[in-house]
Amino acid sequence: MPGLSPRQGIALVVATVLAAGVGLLTAPRPAVPSPAVGGDAELAARLRTLAGSGRVGVSVALIEDGAVRLAGIGETGTGQAMTPTTRFEIGSVAKTLTAALYADLVAAGEVRRDATVRDLLPDRDWPAGGGGDATLEELAGQRSGLPRVPLTPRTLLGILGTTVGGRDPDIGTPDDVLRAGATAKRSEPGRYRYSNLGFALLGHTLAEHVGRPYPELLRDRVLRPAGLTGTTVPADPADAPRDSAGHDRSGRVIPSAVSSGDAPAGAGVWSTAAELARFADLVMRGEAPGHDAARPRFPAGEHRIGYAWHTTPTAGGGAVTWHNGRSGGYTSFLGFDPDRRRVVAVLNNTEADSDGLGMRLLTGSGDGSAEPARWHELAIGAGLPPAAGLTLLAAVFGSRRRPPDRAGLIGNLGWLLLCFAVVRAVGVVLPLAIAGWTVGAAVAGAAICLAGQRWRGLAWNGARRPWPRWIGSGIAVLAGIAALILVLG
């Protein structure tokens, strides 16, 4: 490279190669389930073939014509082998329980489908145009028009924590949910729009109307009658089950989510594959409390939806009814095929896909379970590390209008740390992401070597207005360090 002595050129090559090697060794890779197996050996072998990599442990329950088969592979993340009765956080599959509660109250004549939230809770303040105008049926059918989550400072910070630290946003207490629902604006009511806020509002509206906390009401009206004695809704994180730990797809542990406000929508609800399959089997047979919730009623994109439950046509002319979930490092799938009399529950203590695995077990189609790459994951995993490395390299050379200085290099180094931490936090483990991480590390190594060689000849701050440059560099460094702490902690 022009301007470099032979010694500096050798140092640059060595630094680049070493950085590429370190990048290749430290790039996020998919977790692989351990050889541990529990339950039905044949089903476990099939599960292992379908599951592939990117998972720590999986538990499955399969019911065909009333015959129950249970299997687990891998580990719980708490030092134990997976078993068919390991409890997982089930995420939005919990919406089917809230839907059953609602349908059961309707069947008993205790609430009306066309009743609004305002009708049930008249003593609260419900501004016009907000969640108070939504009917119970709109909430249960994902047609209320409410946003996916309440747009409050608390949830926006939670979304940031989800992106960087892998933690689920906490939308607060039941009272927080009711207040957020009151002020949230509805967009195109009557059309399908998936909303966690809407389901949380439904659950807590029913609970306050009846005069009992949501966990107690759900337990007495749905869980106990259906025999789901191991399914729990802990009100405090200290009471959450310790059967398993959630992970990202590289195997990094993610703290579980417990939110009393978001519980009706799926945060902090725990169950087993065996119990969920039992519940879905009772729904399919018309024997569960609130089983009418699964009957398809409204259009929902390519599917139809009842109360929470989606129904999707199959290639053979039939249809499967299902719901999925994702929460705190867990994914889940619950579905049934009434023509085949088959029920499948899949619980995964990793953020890898459960839908493809569940559908393959349910319909018997497909040879693998590779999760399709989402474009934003591909862009983040494959593009962000090289872009961060090139940005630091560009800062080393500067431009005619802005010569390089130490403050700029320090700031770009902070952004480099932040970018690599984001990729690690998102848990992208695609082959192209490994390549992107390695290339980014190599370019960063070259940039850091060149910066070290030029350091003595650079001014601390060459900007006309130095303080904005110092503030920007300080923010970048703090953001990079904070992101690393979140990811590694």
The CATH number of the domain holding residue 300 is: 3.40.710.10
CA-nearest of 33, 45, 35 to 71 is 45
Contact 288, 103 (CB under 8 A): no
End-to-end CA distance of the chain: 40
Q: Are residues 164 and 77 in the same domain?
A: yes
In a domain, residue 41? The reply is no
What pLDDT digit, counting tens, does each position of 295-330 carry? 999 999 889 999 999 999 988 788 999 999 998 889
pLDDT at 204: 98
pTM of the model: 0.85
In a domain, residue 231? The reply is yes
Asked which of 363, 386, 410 is the last residue of a domain, the reply is 363
Residues of the chain with pLDDT under 50: 163-167, 367-370
Q: Are residues 394 and 472 in the same domain?
A: yes
In a domain, residue 311? The reply is yes
CA-nearest of 213, 207, 188 to 134 is 188
SS3 343: strand
Q: Where do runs of H (alpha helix) occur along 108-236?
A: 117-120, 136-140, 153-165, 174-183, 196-210, 214-218
pLDDT at 165: 45
pLDDT at 240: 81
Asked which of 312, 334, 363 is the last residue of a domain, the reply is 363
Q: Are residues 232 and 316 in the same domain?
A: yes
pLDDT at 368: 40
CA-nearest of 368, 346, 377, 306 to 91 is 346
Domains in the chain: how many in total? Answer: 2
Q: Are residues 279 and 342 in the same domain?
A: yes
Structure tokens, 295 = 């009957």
**Strands, sheet with 57-64, edge to edge from the N-terminal-most edge strand:** 37-39, 67-74, 57-64, 342-348, 330-337, 319-327, 310-313, 303-305, 298-300
In a domain, residue 48? The reply is no
pLDDT at 373: 53
Q: Are residues 280 and 259 in the same domain?
A: yes
Q: Residue with structure tokens 């992208």?
A: 428
Q: Which domain holds residue 230?
A: 63-363
